[in-house]
């Protein structure tokens, strides 16, 4: 389990480490506690020795994400980012509406390739999806290719509001499999999707638009049918 969480943290941060380990503890109630993340033996990752409060702030997101990934194998006690809502009592439909409303609130926010995670001054396509899902307590990996591995495929004719849509980009159309993916958005229904792109930043686009229709690859349903995570 420790190795699995460590591998997923690498995906989350879109960085490679020579060695990455996670110290875990299981409580008497079988709840999972994540104690520390290390990228080299004896050298802590994202830890500030002199300022405990800064350390606790710095690990808040990896705590939640690692706990979220470990959820299928153990009960967890995640530490949610301070701007995340408590969605434990909402329905799947309510969760989707919250995510989309959060996304629409950033309409026309500028596009920036490689945007810093959690920044709201500018987004690229995947940082935008990562942010609006995390606002409702669902943490996605950082890149569109990693995000495309979540959930399950949905045929285009069966797309529903809240599904993630994945596209290629011109620099990747010659690639195969996962490497073809270079863009992501969230389906709004009615043939429209919300995304962050170079042409206009955060915008709503018709899926039938000739440019995006040509680059469309697949839809993925990442929010479970039984409601909130």
Catalytic residues: 125, 183, 195
How far lies 27's CA from each of 44, 75, 105, 133, 205, in Å? 23, 10, 40, 29, 48
Reduced to 3 states (helix: H, G, I; strand: E, B; else coil), residue 219 is strand
Q: List, in sequence order, the alpha helices (H) in 125-183.
A: 125-134, 144-147
- Distance between CA atoms of residues 6 and 195, nearest Å: 29
Lookup: tokens for 38: 């290390």
**Cβ-based burial of 177 (10 A; exposed 0-12, middle 13-18, buried ≥19):** exposed
């Amino acid at each position: 389990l420790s190795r699995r969480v460590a591998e997923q943290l690498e995906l989350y941060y879109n960085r490679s480490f020579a060695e990455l380990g996670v110290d875990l503890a299981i409580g008497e109630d079988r709840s999972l506690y994540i104690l520390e993340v290390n990228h080299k033996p004896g050298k802590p990752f994202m830890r500030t020795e002199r300022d405990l409060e800064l350390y606790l702030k710095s690990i808040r997101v990896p705590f939640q994400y690692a706990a979220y990934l470990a959820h299928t194998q153990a009960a967890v006690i995640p530490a949610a980012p301070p701007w995340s809502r408590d969605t434990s009592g909402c329905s799947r439909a309510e969760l989707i509406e919250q995510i989309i409303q959060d996304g629409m609130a950033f309409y026309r926010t500028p596009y920036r390739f490689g945007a810093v995670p959690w920044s709201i001054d500018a987004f690229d396509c995947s940082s935008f999806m990562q942010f609006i899902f995390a606002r409702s307590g669902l943490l996605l990996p950082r890149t569109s290719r990693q995000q495309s591995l979540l959930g399950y495929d949905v045929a285009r004719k069966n797309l529903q509001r809240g599904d993630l849509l994945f596209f290629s980009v011109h620099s990747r159309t010659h690639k195969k499999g996962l490497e073809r993916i270079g863009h992501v958005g969230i389906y709004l229904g009615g043939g429209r999707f919300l995304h962050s792109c170079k042409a206009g930043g955060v915008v709503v686009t018709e899926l039938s638009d000739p440019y995006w229709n040509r680059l469309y690859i697949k839809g993925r349903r990442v929010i479970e049918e039984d409601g909130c995570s």
